[in-house]
C-alpha cells in the first residue's frame, strides 16, 4: 500500500525541497521504493528545448525509483512567481487532471511518495482553486516545513489551523534553519513544540551546501512510517 505525504510550508523559501529530499533519503535508507513529486513548479530554466526546475530535479535525484523529469514535474513555468500569475502570463493552463494522473502513475511505481507543494498552503493555481484544494481532493496527510526565523511562530500557527480546519491530518512538522541560529532559536522551537498538535519529525540545521550532503539522518522517520 502506498504512503503519500504532502510537504507544505509556512511560506515560500522556507525549505520544502530540503525537507522533501531529507525524507526521501531517510526512506531510501530504510529500503522504501520512493518517488518525489512536484505537480507544479515555477522559476525554471531552459535546458536544451525543455524547461527544468531545480527543486524538481533534486526530487528526481533523491528518488530511489528511476523517473523521467515529467513524472516528477508535469507542469512547469519559467517565471518565478505564483503559478496562477505564470499561467496568465504564458497562456499555459494548469491542468488539474494532469496533476492527478501524475500522482496515480507514481502510486504504481513507488510505495512512498513525497509530494512537494509550491509556495504556502493557499497558493492559488487558477481561478479560486488553491493547492490546498488539490490536497484535500486526494486526502493527503501533511508535513509542515517551518523556516526558523523571526515570524515563524505566527506563520506556523496560522498554517496549522488552516490544515486542521480542512479536515486533513497534520502528520508532523520539520524545523528548517533557514538562517544561522540566533539567541532566540530555542525559544522559537520550545513555542512550536507547545503550539503545534503534531510531532516534530526533525530539525535540519543551517546547511548552505546541503545539495551535496546526506541529510536523511536529521529526519525521525519512525514517527510516521516505520
Q: Is 223 annotated as a binding residue?
A: no
Cell output for 196: 503545534
DSSP state letter for 108: T
Q: Is 212 annotated as a binding residue?
A: no
Q: Is 177 annotated as a binding residue?
A: yes
Q: Is 14 annotated as a binding residue?
A: yes
Q: Which residues are catalytic?
A: 38
Q: Is 206 annotated as a binding residue?
A: yes
Residue 115 CA to residue 112 CA, distance in Å, equals: 10
Q: In sequence order, what are the residues at sequence separation of 6 or more whose Cβ sits closer than 8 angstroms to the Cβ of residue 186?
A: none
Q: Is 16 annotated as a binding residue?
A: yes
Query: Which pairing describes strands 124-126 and 75-77: parallel, antiparallel, or unpaired?
Result: unpaired
The three-class DSSP label of residue 109 is: coil
Query: Which pairing describes strands 40-42 and 200-204: parallel, antiparallel, or unpaired?
Result: unpaired
H helices of 116-184, in order, are 131-138, 152-165
Q: Is 133 annotated as a binding residue?
A: no
Q: Is 116 annotated as a binding residue?
A: yes
| Annotation: binding site for substrate | 42
| Annotation: binding site for Mg(2+) | 17, 55, 116
Amino acid at each position: 500500500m502506498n504512503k503519500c505525504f504532502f510537504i507544505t510550508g509556512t511560506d515560500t523559501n522556507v525549505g520544502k525541497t530540503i525537507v522533501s529530499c531529507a525524507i526521501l533519503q531517510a526512506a531510501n535508507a530504510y529500503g522504501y521504493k520512493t518517488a518525489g513529486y512536484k505537480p507544479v513548479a515555477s522559476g525554471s530554466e531552459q535546458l536544451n528545448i525543455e524547461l527544468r526546475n531545480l527543486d524538481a530535479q533534486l526530487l528526481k535525484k533523491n528518488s530511489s525509483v528511476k523517473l523521467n523529469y515529467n513524472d516528477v514535474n508535469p507542469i512547469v513555468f519559467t517565471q518565478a512567481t505564483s503559478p496562477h500569475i505564470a499561467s496568465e502570463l504564458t497562456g499555459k493552463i494548469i491542468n488539474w487532471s494532469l496533476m492527478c494522473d501524475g500522482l496515480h502513475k507514481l502510486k504504481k511505481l513507488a510505495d512512498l511518495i513525497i509530494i512537494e507543494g509550491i509556495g504556502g498552503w493557499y497558493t492559488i493555481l487558477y481561478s479560486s482553486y488553491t493547492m490546498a484544494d488539490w490536497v484535500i481532493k486526494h486526502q493527503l496527510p501533511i508535513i509542515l516545513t517551518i523556516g526558523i526565523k523571526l515570524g515563524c511562530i505566527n506563520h506556523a500557527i496560522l498554517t496549522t489551523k488552516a490544515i486542521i480546519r480542512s479536515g486533513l491530518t497534520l502528520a508532523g512538522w520539520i524545523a528548517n534553519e533557514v538562517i544561522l541560529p540566533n539567541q532566540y532559536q530555542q525559544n522559537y522551537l520550545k513555542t512550536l513544540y507547545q503550539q503545534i498538535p503534531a510531532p516534530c519529525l526533525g530539525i535540519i540545521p543551517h546547511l548552505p551546501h546541503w545539495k551535496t550532503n546526506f541529510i536523511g539522518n536529521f529526519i525521525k522517520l519512525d514517527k510516521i512510517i516505520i
